[in-house]
Amino acid sequence: MLFLLLMLQEDLQAQMPGMMRRMQNMGGSGGGMRPASSGGSDSLSFEKRNFAADSVNVQYKYLDTAKYLTFDSSISDFYKRVPLKPWLANIGYNGNPTRSLLFNPMRGIGWDGGFHALDPFAFTVQESRFMNTTKAYTELGYLVGSKAEQQISVLHTQNISPDWNAVAQYRLITAPGTFNSQNSSHNNIRINSDYTSKNRRYHAYVIILSNTLQSAENGGIRDPAFLVNENPAYNDRFNVPTNLAPSIYSSRNFFKVNLLTGNRYTNMNLLYRHQFDFGKKDSTVTDSTVIRYYLPRLRLEHTIESSSNNYEYLDVQPIGASTFYSTHYGITQLPDTVRFSMKNTALKNDFSIIQFPDANNLLQFFKAGISLLQYRNVSGVYNDPFTNILLHGEYRNLTRNKKWDMLLYGEFITAGRDIGNYAVKAHLQRSLGSNVGNLQIGFENANRTPSYIYKNPTAFPLKYNTTLADENIANLYGVLYLKKINAFLQFNYFLISNYTYLKNFTDVDQYNTVFQLLRGGLTKEIRLYRNFKWSTEVFIQSIPSNAPIHLPSFFTRNRIGYEGNPFRNLILATGIEVRYHTAYYADGYSPLNGQFFYQSAERINNRPDIHIYNNFRIRSFTGFVRLENLNTASSQYGFGFKQNNFAAPLYPTPGLVFRLGVFWNFVN
């Protein structure tokens, strides 16, 4: 009905969108997912800046970049506001372990613990944003969902002085889940600051970061037949029998987050970087005002980073799950409490020299440096200290006319436990003209030691293999943006050797034959009628039949609805969202090790996920209303939303979910 009312408004005008959002790199270059710069009317870089009391200009940059970006405050895509992304398969509720439906291998070199199932819910050093704002700016967010799901977020930034900014960010995600022992509680804290001296020669950056990630484990349900069942007790999903925690029922109390059976991962990072420039002073006179600045030609940089990572599995009452422990892990004599843990501490010291060929363009530079990385890994009776020495170099050039953007980067571990590890990256981006679009092509190659728990002894019940060879992952990619048809085309060609994987709950294996994987993607916005639009994302993957990888060959997400400005102060986006992927042998999940593993016994064939949404913004207030998983409706044994899809064997996704989110930003 809302669609019909909007269509009947006589003053409805077709609006040209702002700059089309960049295609997010789902396992493409670097494996990162950074927000893109947005310069349209949806952005906080307001097109008519009057610096009134309710106006603010906020820009941000990342630690290893010099280019400032602006916030993207568009409202069409709910997933920009939550860490759980649409291409991630979540084995339970929001906050439980995830894996990507799109091929995204590990590419970081050196030490890696191997516990990544909860990564999307953590703050990272790489994604820390250093901001510059004309006035103090705060954003508050609150999201509530079915089964007492909660997400609370706070972001505050202000310039203490024109050359000194501080950012504080907090996020809480907690949910009891749909099924027994599925509760999660994630706490993220980040404080970062950057400072530039008055003479513009000294720069300092600080990041303090803490993550506490807790996810209960239930080992999956015992039988999918319990989902659609004549017994009405199973309509309450907490009553469906699970393989773990059969006699411990997780609380639905928002404030009770005690972990009885599950995984707890914590990490803390402290980073301090300071730089000193050599060059010459300069100034500009505008309206009798003298603006002084410094033109650097040489920069000395020192970075020190300390980190601590703790990984723990805990089950305080395992006796009722003795069959699960003995069948999958060979644990026949259960203690009163099952507990496995591993702790890693790391200290990194890096010294780099940066040279600017053009002092007027800080986006062109050469960088070379050396890092000393010291580690200590403790797990059970194992105490393992070791050291790596890493050399790195980089050339970056974003031309002043913004037509060319080039990156060449390489790092190589020359001594230590992981000697021989290396990573190289290269990309070239060219503007094809303001009316055409742009093209980016790139290549990256990493030779890396398999994750620590796969190759080294720990207390976890995992059969490690000390003879594993280094993995090698190459990725040739390209992204083409065509402005006239509002489309992004993406192509990835992966070449992998010595692929390391888990072949069941406990056994590590390595596929030594070289194999290739191709992926093509399309992101496009289609105007259907006036302000009615169809936004589509399509990915096709050619999965090798001879390699131990199972992924859907086709994945798509589509939003069809109204996006416009029906009233003066109201921006509205409402419609239907559909996500679908083809049937495939989804990876199983090993809860004690927090790992997904390769399996070919059970094929997942899901219905398309169907959601309806109504997003709106009124000045600085943004709201999201969603009704998700309408596809789970079933009339068998009485009407209900109980025809659940599956993310992994024995791990159903939720039924009907209602979510309401509000986000409010204001100037202090």
What confidence tens digit (pLDDT) does each residue in 91-109 have? 999 999 999 999 999 999 9
What percentage of the chain has pLDDT greater than the value 70? 90
Distance CA(309)–CA(288), nearest Å, equals 54
The whole-number pLDDT of residue 291 equals 73
The whole-number pLDDT of residue 3 equals 37
Distance CA(457)–CA(467), nearest Å, equals 12
Distance CA(48)–CA(45), nearest Å, equals 9
Distance CA(642)–CA(640), nearest Å, equals 6
Beta bridge partners of 530: none
Q: Nearest CA to 617 among 235, 81, 92?
A: 81
Q: Nearest CA to 505 among 407, 569, 601, 366?
A: 601
Give the pLDDT band of residue 171 (cuts 50, 70, 90).
Answer: very high
Q: Nearest CA to 591 among 243, 246, 249?
A: 243
Residue 366 tokens read as: 């050469």
Q: Is the pLDDT confidence value at 22 over 80?
A: no
Mean pLDDT on 282-305: 84
Mean pLDDT on 179-207: 95
Q: Is the pLDDT confidence value at 357 over 70?
A: yes
Tens digits of per-residue pLDDT, 639-662? 999 999 999 999 999 999 999 999
Domain borders along the chain are 2-667
CB 36 within 8 A of CB 72: yes
> Class assignment of domain 2-667?
mainly beta
Residue 307 tokens read as: 């980190």
